[in-house]
Amino acid sequence: MPATPMSPAQARQNMVDTLLQLQKEWGMPEISERVAAVLRTVPRHVFVPEVSLEQAYATDYAPPIRRAEDGLVTSSMSAVRVQAMMLDQAGLEPGMRVLEIGSGGYNAALIAELVGSAGEVTTIDIDAEVTDRARRYLDEAGYPDVRVVTGDAEYGVAEFAPYDRVIVTVRAWDLPPAWLAQLTETGRLVTPMRLRGVNRTVGLDRVEGHLVSRPDHHLTVFVPMQGAGAHEERGIAVQGEEIVLYSAEEPVDVDALRKALHGPRKEFWPGIEFTRPDRLHLWIAGHADRYAMLHVAEDVLEHGPAGPLARQPVPVVLADEGSVAVRAKRALGEDRFEIGVFAFGPHGERAAQDYIDVLRAWDQHEGSMARIEVWPSGTPEADLPTDRVRVLDKPHTRTVLAWP
Ligand SMILES: C[S@@+](CC[C@H](N)C(=O)[O-])C[C@H]1O[C@@H](n2cnc3c(N)ncnc32)[C@H](O)[C@@H]1O
């Protein structure tokens, strides 16, 4: 007998069961009962009719909604795993007024369920085709009260402000002043941030004129912001597109660096276990001085000059004459890894020593979450928190990293 096709309700139930299972097995952020309940309610497949039921309810798939002419995805419905996490970071309560930035429709419907009929949901997207479909599918799924606005979220949506929560579902380079200005005095902004090349999605509470992170933030990846806040992060091509350096804050001698990476390497294994890689990367970004992120294409990972290196971008420490120390890891046994450093170039050992000092401090610190504070640009040094480890300056903001 042919198998009975799965009903959407069953697919939703399975999706939530899988998320809860993943949480148990992989230590993913906990999903609250309230968020799990709305995930079981809102028909996700209605918002992505172009994919199968199975794909619509996969936990880690972000179905593409729009592509640019070159084929690059400019809009996708975020993976439900990420949506669940951000909704919990937002701590939505009945009656809240919420602005969502980036409109797939589905996430706005989840928010509408969480804030209830006494709440208000506004979602904005820069792409009229995205907002057209969001409007259509929100109506179809039974959420006619969600406001859908077409425009550049760089300026927020002043008309319906203030908001108790602003939830950003696009990768912003900087945080535009409107997002803070349109929050209530005790409001919260949940947003992906780019911190020296490290992606974190952070819940930030408004404290007077600045924002302070809540204890939990996570690694996520989003499509980049378009419009006035668009920012193309230019890497330094060390070897075409195969080896690229990002977030370097000093001039780099590219030829010397390429030569160093093709030369011999020295390995250092200071006996530090590799745990909580996402927190570790932010720690390195906060503590290393001559810092950058190295991206190595997959086909040169194993057999290329510097290989074998990690598949993901890795934080590196630079030294003179193209020398560099690169974070490495090796297995210690099942599911356990050790962090090491590969040193390249004439001053590679110097860079490796600096790197190891940062790693040892991490080991002693036992890996707590960073506190992230966002202050308006122009805030005098004397007004920033005294326990700051690093300040990252962007046109609109001064972001402070500190570790409690
Ligand atoms: C990941 S999608 C949003 C997904 C949506 N929140 C959902 O239901 O899953 C990101 C969206 O941000 C939009 N976007 C990019 N830059 C923007 C800007 N400056 N203002 C408003 N929307 C923008 C894109 O068009 C895209 O649709």
Q: Which is nearest to 182 in space by CA: 159, 150, 212, 151?
A: 159
Is 240 in the same domain as 175?
no
Quick check: 222 and 265 in contact, CB under 8 A? no
At residue 302, the pLDDT reads: 53
For the stretch 324-373, pLDDT in tens is 999 988 888 887 889 999 999 999 999 999 999 999 999 888 767 899 99
- Which of 211, 229, 247 represents a domain boundary (last residue)? 229
The tokens for 256 are 């010397």
- Is 90 found in the same domain as 222? yes
Q: Are residues 75 and 210 in the same domain?
A: yes
162 and 72 together in one domain: yes
Ligand 1 near 123 CB (within 6 A): no
Torsion sign over Cα 138, 140, 144, 148:
positive
Q: Is the CB of 351 under 6 A from ligand 1?
A: no
Same domain, 96 and 69: yes
Q: Residue 222: CB within 6 Å of ligand 1?
A: yes
As a residue count, the chain comes to 404
Claim to verify: residue 244 and residue 153 sit in the same structural domain? no
Q: Which of 226, 231, 396 to mutate to test the pocket of ligand 1 (most atoms within 8 A of CB)?
A: 226
Residue 25 lies in a domain: no
Residue partners of 334: CB distance under 8 A and separation at least 6: none
Pocket test for ligand 1, best of 45, 75, 86, 190 (most atoms within 8 A of CB): 75
Specify the number of domains making up the chain. 2
- CA-nearest residue, atom 27 of ligand 1: 75
Same domain, 148 and 182: yes
Residues 259 and 189 in one domain: no
Kindly give the distance from the C-alpha atom of residue 31 to the centroid of ligand 1, in angstroms, as a whole number. 23
Task: Check pLDDT > 90 for residue 138.
Answer: yes
102 pocket-lining for ligand 1 (C-beta < 6 Å)? yes
From 226, 80, 65, 83, select the one nearest 137 (Cα to Cα): 65
Spacing, Cα 169 to ligand 1 middle (Å): 6
Last residue of a domain, one of 229, 254, 269: 229
Only one residue has tokens 């729009």, namely 66
- Judge if the beta carbon of residue 172 lies within 6 A of ligand 1: no
Determine, yes or no, domain membership for 8.
no
* Mean pLDDT taken over the chain: 92
In a domain, 34, yes or no: no
Please tell me which residue, 373 or 220, carries the higher pLDDT value. Answer: 373
Q: Residue 304's pLDDT is what?
A: 47
Do 164 and 271 share a domain, yes or no? no
Question: What confidence score (pLDDT) does residue 309 get?
Answer: 54
Of the pLDDT bands very low, low, confident and very high (cuts 50, 70, 90), residue 68 is confident
Q: Note the pLDDT of residue 299.
A: 58
CATH number at residue 200: 3.40.50.150
* DSSP conformation class of 290: S
- Whether 265 and 350 map to the same domain: the answer is yes
Residue whose Cα lies nearest atom 26 of ligand 1: it is: 75
Is residue 19 packed enough to be buried (19+ CB in 10 Å), middle (13-18) or exposed (0-12)?
A: buried
In angstroms, the Cα distances linking 2 to 5, 51, 54, 55 are 9, 22, 17, 21
Q: How far is the CA of 263 from the centre of ligand 1 (A)?
A: 44
How far is the C-alpha of 273 from the C-alpha of 338, rounded, in Å? Answer: 4
- Residue 379 Cα to ligand 1 middle (Å): 30
What separation in angstroms does the CA of 376 have from each of 189, 208, 211, 325, 386? 15, 11, 9, 34, 17
Residue 108 falls within a domain, yes or no?
yes
131 in a structural domain: yes
Find the domain containing 349 and state its range: 236-365
In 274-308, at which residue ranges do the beta strands (DSSP E only) sit?
Answer: 291-296
Rounded to an integer, the average pLDDT of 51-65 is: 93
| Catalytic positions, written as ranges | 78
pTM (2 d.p.): 0.94
Does residue 43 lie within any of the structural domains? no
Residue with the nearest Cα to atom 15 of ligand 1?
225
- Tokens 């294409």 locate to 297
Cβ neighbours, 10 Å, residue 295: 17
Q: Write out pLDDT tens, residues 280-299.
A: 889 999 999 999 999 887 65
308, 244: one domain: yes
> Sign of dihedral through CA atoms 63, 68, 70, 72?
negative
Out of 229, 262, 284, pick the residue that ends a domain: 229
Whether 217 and 267 map to the same domain: the answer is no
Q: Considering the chain, what percentage of its residues have pLDDT values greater than 90?
A: 75
Q: What are phi and psi of 302, to 5 degrees?
A: -80, -40
**Domain contains 129:** yes
In tens, the pLDDT along 81-115 reads 999 999 999 999 999 999 999 999 999 999 999 99
pLDDT value of position 55: 95
Whether the upstream peptide bond of residue 315 has omega within 30° of 0, thus cis, is: no
- Residue 71, helix vs strand vs coil: coil
73-76 and 64-67 beta bridge pairing: antiparallel
Tell me if 390 is assigned to some domain.
no
Query: Could you tell me which of 49, 51, 20, 15 has the C-alpha nearest to residue 33?
Result: 20
Neighbouring C-beta atoms of residue 263, cutoff 10 Å: 15
